[in-house]
Amino acid sequence: MKLLQDSLLELIRRTSTEIPDDVHKAIVDSLEQEKKGTIAESAMKIIDQNIALAKNKSQPICQDTGSIIFYVDCPLNFDQMAFEEAARQAVKLATSKGFLRQNSVDSISGKNDGTNVGPGSPTIHFHQHRSQETTVRLVLKGGGCENVGAQYSLPSEKLQANRDLDGCRKVILDAVLQAQGKGCGPGILGVCIGGDRATGYEFSKQQLLRKLDDKNEREDLDGLERDIVSTANQLGIGPMGFGGKTTLLGTKIGVLNRLPASYFVSVSYMCWAYRRQGVTLQQDGAIQNWLY
Amino acid sequence: MIQLNTPVAEDAIRALKVGDEAEISGTLFTGRDAVHKYLHEGGKLPPGVNFQGGILYHCGPVVIKDEHQNWKCVAAGPTTSIREEPYQWQVIRDFGLRGVIGKGGMGDKTLAACKQYGCAYLHAIGGAAQVLAECIKRVPNVYMMEQFGAPEAIWEFEVVRFPVVVTMDAHGNSLHKEVFAASQAELAKHL
C-alpha cells in the first residue's frame, strides 16, 4: 500500500512537472516554424523555457494543475478500493508538496478544503483485462482548456454540418475557431464521433492518451485527423491566439456507436501544457517502467 | 522592449498599442472570479490593497510557505479572462486600474472601459507558470484567503520584468477581434 502510494505520488509529480517527449518534440518543431521576431515566436520561446524550468525545479508546468483523471488497466482480482484509497492519499500528499494546486472546491459553497480530494476528485476509470499487468495513466487537465471543449449535435443548420465525415470536419474546425486564445494554444484535440452526451465527452478525453505521433487504425479517421491539423494551421490563429502558424499540435479521433436518433461530435481541447504520463506497476506497487 | 513600472501613469498606458511587448516591474495584485463578483456586488477592497494606477492579474497561483515561513510563489500563470467580462469594466472604472493581465482577451465592454478610463489588457503566456513565477521576487501579503481560498484570494506580488503582450489597447483596438475575424474568414475558404 505504501509502495503504491509512493508510486502514484511520483506519477503525479512527474505528470505535473514534465511534458511528455512526444509533446515536447511537437512544441520545439512549432517554435522553429514560427516567423522570427513575431509575438507568436516570443510566446513559443517562453513556452519552451517554461518546460525546461518546470522540469529542473520539479514544479508545476502550469499553476492550474487541473482535473486529476486516472485510467487504470488491471488484472482480475485487483483491489480497486485499495487503489482508490492510495490514489486519494497520493493526491493529498502531492497537494501539500505543491505539485498540485489546491484546486478542488465545493460546487455550491465554493469552499476549498485544500486537499484536492472530494466528490469526483480524483476521477478514476478502471478497466479489467486478462493480462497480469497493471498500468496507470494520469491526465491533469486544466480548466482553461476544459472550458473550451464543445459538443455538437448533428445536423447543425448554422454550421451546415450534416451527418457525415464532412459534417464532423466542419464542427471540429468550428471548435478550433471558437477556442482561439482561451484554451492556451497551440492545442491538441481529442474527439469522439458518436456515443451519448456523457460517453462522447468521456471517450474524447481518452483519445488524449494516444501519442501525438501515432497513426489512427482507421484510414478515413487518420485522414481526417491530418486534415484538421493542417487546415487549423492555415487559419492564422497561432500560439495564444496571437496570430501565427501553429494553432494545433495534433488531433486524435475515436468512434463509438450511436443511436439512430443521435449524432454527437464531442471535442476535448488540451492546452500545450499537455500533462499526461503513465506507469506499469510491479505486483508490489512499485514503478516498473514509464509509458510516455 | 517597453518597461512599465507601477503605479503606471495614464500617458504610459495610452502610449501602448496592440502587438507591443512589455515588461512590468513593481506590484501586482491578483484577482479572479470570486474577487470580481465580490467587487461587482459592492464589496470593498481590504485595507492594504490599492488598485489606483495599478495592474490586476487574473491568476490563481500555487503559493507555499518556505523554510522561514515566508510565502513563496511556485507557479503563477494567467487564467482565462473572459469570465470577468461582466465585471471588469466596472472594476476599471471604480478602482482606477491602468492594466489588466490575463489570457485569451476580453470583450467589448472591457475594450470600451480601457479606452474611456485609460487602461490596457496585457496578455501573459498561458500555461507559462514557471517563467512567470520566476519574475515574482516576493509575496508580501495575501488578502481574503479565508473567504475565497488560495487560488481565488488577492495575492500581492512584487515582480521584476514580468513579460506581457499588449493585446487590447486604450485606443479601442483588440488583437483578439482582429485574429478572430481574419481566422473566421480564412476558415470559410476551407469549408
**DSSP for A10-71, written as a single string:** HHHHHHHH---HHHHHHHHHHHHHSPTTSHHHHHHHHHHHHHHHHHHHT--SSS---EEEEE
* pLDDT score recorded for residue A196: 98
Q: Which domains does chain A have, with CATH numbers?
A: 2-15+61-142+275-290 (3.30.1330), 144-270 (no CATH)
Task: Give strand pairing partners of B64.
Answer: B72
SS3 A224: helix
Rounded Cα distance between A92 and A284, Å, is: 22
Rounded Cα distance between B168 and B177, Å, is: 9
Angle at alpha carbon of residue A44, lines to A40 and A48, rounded to 5°: 170
Q: Is B60 on the interface with A (CB under 8 A)?
A: yes
To test the contact with chain B by mutation, choose from A64, A140, A166, A176 the residue with the greatest count of B C-beta atoms within 10 A, namely: A64
* pLDDT score recorded for residue B20: 98
| A48: phi then psi, degrees, rounded to nearest 5 | -65, -40
Nearest CB partner across the interface for A50, out of B130, B179, B186? B130
Nearest CB partner across the interface for B165, out of A39, A101, A103? A39
- How much is the pTM? 0.95
Cell numbers standing for residue B138: 516576493
Q: Is B142 on the interface with A (CB under 8 A)?
A: no
A177 and B64 in contact by Cβ < 8 A?
no
pLDDT in tens, A87-121: 999 999 999 999 999 999 999 998 999 999 999 99
* pLDDT score recorded for residue A1: 75
Tell whether the model's pLDDT for residue A233 goes beyond 80. yes
Minimal Cα distance from B145: which residue of A? A112
pLDDT in tens, A14-35: 999 999 999 999 999 999 999 9
Rounded Cα distance between A240 and A242, Å, is: 5
Rounded Cα distance between B131 and B78, Å, is: 12
Mean pLDDT by 10 residues, chain B (191 residues): 97 98 98 96 96 97 91 94 97 97 97 98 97 97 94 97 98 98 98 94
At how many degrees (to 10) do helices A39-57 and A2-17 cross? 160
* pLDDT score recorded for residue A273: 97
At how many degrees (to 10) do helices B175-189 and A165-179 cross? 170
Cell numbers standing for residue B176: 483578439
Contacts of B184 (CB under 8 A, 6+ apart): A177
Domain residue limits, chain B? 2-189
B128 and A243 in contact by Cβ < 8 A?
no
* pLDDT score recorded for residue B126: 96
DSSP letter, residue A201: H
* pLDDT score recorded for residue B127: 94
To test the contact with chain A by mutation, choose from B2, B30, B58, B80 the residue with the greatest count of A C-beta atoms within 10 A, namely: B80
Rounded Cα distance between A70 and A8, Å, is: 10
Phi-psi region of A242 (alpha: psi -120 to 50; beta: other; left: phi over 0): alpha
Cell 486519494 locates to A88
A247, B179 in Cβ contact below 8 A? no
Q: Is B191 on the interface with A (CB under 8 A)?
A: yes
Angle at alpha carbon of residue A216, lines to A214 and A219, rounded to 5°: 135
Cell 480524483 locates to A122
Contacts of A163 (CB under 8 A, 6+ apart): A154, A155, A263
Domain B2-189 grouped into CATH 3.40.50.410: no
Rounded Cα distance between B74 and A190, Å, is: 30
Mean pLDDT, all residues of chain A: 97
Task: Please compute the mean of the pLDDT values over residues A273-292 and round it to a whole number.
Answer: 97
Neighbours of B140 (CB within 10 A): 12
Residue A64: Cβ-neighbour burial (10 angstroms; 0-12, 13-18, 19+): buried
Minimal Cα distance from B72: which residue of A? A98
Q: Length of chain A in residues, anyone?
A: 292
Rounded Cα distance between A258 and A233, Å, is: 30
| B24: phi then psi, degrees, rounded to nearest 5 | -110, 135
Task: Give strand pairing partners of A140.
Answer: A68, A275
Q: How many CA atoms lie within 13 A of A190 on its CB side?
A: 22
B80, A149 in Cβ contact below 8 A? no
Tell whether the model's pLDDT for residue A180 goes beyond 80. yes
Minimal Cα distance from B126: which residue of A? A184
Task: Please compute the mean of the pLDDT values over residues A222-228 and round it to a whole number.
Answer: 98
A64, B79 in Cβ contact below 8 A? yes
Tell whether the model's pLDDT for residue A192 goes beyond 90. yes
Rounded Cα distance between B45 and B3, Å, is: 28
Nearest CB partner across the interface for B129, out of A50, A231, A243? A50
Rounded Cα distance between B152 and A116, Å, is: 15
